[in-house]
């Protein structure tokens, strides 16, 4: 009947425009997968966009850093060069959200990464939610890494990152975007803060290792829904992901010098 058809049409329209909930953290695979060297995934960036407009991660073969800004995906390669990624590109690990910030503040006099983490945390009312943050401004100093493309058999992430390129940006205009993961989810995702960086002129960026800045604008979104899409390929399904990887995650994800 025409009523049923129009109902179905409305349904289709709704599903076509259906955006993932704005309080959802969606990730493909787990950080433990990368830690043990599961560096190929089946999720395309075109598919990933359905779950979020902002995010971070890497692309297959751990070929550099990935950041998503307003639905566009970028790679920063091991030479520190930024490229636009096409929708057919696949990722072995990515974390995205339909970023709709609920509060905005100014963060000032940040001395280093852990100082930033403490200052961001002071705005959280809840200890066991996930958060997304977007920090924009001119940063006195940002130190960022980019991982080099790996060859099979893929090594553990700690080995791959031991060959990472590191870049130091001074008085740079850009955006930091990333997530806070509560410790109880360590191993599924990176516990604490995980931030990627992109310069405003879209020429470079990377995974943030350290930084300091006088003042920047921070927008937060509290994420109360958490969805993990588990790769169905044999690489992921055949490895042992049960080990305690907390030391390896710290080694692979944070600044050393
Ligand atoms: C390699 C890249 O920086 C990634 C996946 O975001 C991470 O391991 O931190
Ligand atoms: Zn990263």
- Asked whether 253 lines ligand 1 (CB < 6 A), one says yes
Ligand nearest to the CA of 196: 2
Whole-number Å distance between alpha carbons of 73 and 49: 9
Task: Find out whether the beta carbon of 235 lies less than 6 Å from any atom of ligand 1.
Answer: no
Largest Cα separation within the chain, whole Å, is: 70
For the stretch 119-147, pLDDT in tens is 999 998 899 999 999 999 999 999 999 99
Q: Ligand 1 centre from 255 Cα, in Å?
A: 13
Is the CB of residue 26 less than 8 Å from the CB of residue 56?
Answer: no
Per-residue model confidence as pLDDT tens digits over 226-256: 999 999 999 999 999 999 999 999 999 999 8
pLDDT over 60 (residue 1): no
Per-residue CA distances from 35 to 27, 29, 146, 241, 244 (Å) = 16, 11, 16, 9, 11
Residues 6, 10, 12: CA angle, nearest 5 degrees? 115
Tokens 């410790």, residue?
Answer: 183
Pocket test for ligand 1, best of 28, 55, 56 (most atoms within 8 A of CB): 56
| Distance separating alpha carbons of residues 21 and 97, to the nearest angstrom | 8
| Predicted local distance difference test score (pLDDT) of residue 10 | 44
pLDDT digits (tens, 9 = 90+) for 168-192: 999 999 999 999 999 999 999 999 9
Model pTM score: 0.93
Count the Cβ atoms, other than its own, within 10 Å of residue 182.
16
Give CB contacts under 8 A, 24+ apart, made by 199-203: 199/82, 199/169, 199/172, 199/173, 199/174, 200/173, 200/174, 200/175, 201/173, 202/74, 202/82, 203/81, 203/82
Query: How many A from CA of 33 to the centre of ligand 2?
Result: 14
Q: pLDDT digit string (tens) for 82-97?
A: 999 999 999 999 999 9
In ligand 1, the atom with minimum distance to the C-alpha of 31 is 8
CA atoms of 161 and 157, how far apart (whole Å): 6
| pLDDT given for residue 19 in this prediction | 79
Q: Write down the ipTM of this complex.
A: 0.99
Q: Tell me what the pLDDT averaged over the chain comes to.
A: 93
Give 15-66 pLDDT, tens digit per residue.
333 579 999 999 999 999 999 999 999 999 999 999 999 999 999 999 999 9
Q: Which protein residue has the closest C-alpha to ligand 1 atom 5?
A: 57
Burial of 51 (0-12, 13-18, 19+ CB in 10 A): buried
Q: Would you say the CB of residue 208 lies under 6 angstroms from ligand 1?
A: no
Distance 94 CA to ligand 2 centre (A): 9
């Amino acid at each position: 009947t025409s009523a049923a058809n129009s109902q179905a049409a409305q349904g289709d329209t709704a599903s076509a425009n259906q955006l993932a909930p704005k309080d959802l953290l969606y990730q493909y695979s787990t950080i433990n997968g990368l830690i043990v060297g599961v560096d190929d995934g089946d999720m395309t960036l075109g598919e990933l966009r359905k779950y979020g407009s902002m995010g971070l991660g890497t692309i297959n073969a751990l070929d550099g850093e990935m950041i998503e800004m307003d639905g566009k995906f970028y790679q920063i390669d091991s030479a520190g060069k930024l490229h636009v990624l096409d929708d057919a590109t696949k990722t072995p690990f990515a974390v995205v959200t339909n970023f709709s910030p609920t509060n905005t503040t100014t963060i000032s006099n940040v001395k280093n990464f852990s100082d930033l983490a403490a200052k961001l945390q002071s705005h959280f009312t809840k200890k066991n939610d996930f958060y997304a943050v977007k920090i924009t401004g001119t940063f006195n100093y940002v130190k960022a890494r980019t991982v080099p493309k790996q060859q099979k058999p893929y090594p553990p992430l700690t080995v791959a990152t031991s060959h990472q390129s590191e870049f130091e940006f001074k008085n740079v205009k850009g955006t930091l975007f990333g997530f806070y993961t509560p410790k109880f989810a360590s191993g599924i995702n990176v516990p604490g803060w995980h931030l990627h960086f992109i310069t405003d002129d879209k020429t470079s960026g990377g995974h943030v290792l350290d930084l300091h800045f006088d003042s920047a604008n921070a927008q937060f979104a509290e994420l109360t829904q958490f969805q993990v899409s588990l790769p169905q390929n044999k690489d992921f399904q055949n490895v042992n992901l049960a080990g305690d990887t907390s030391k390896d995650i710290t080694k692979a994800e944070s600044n050393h010098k």
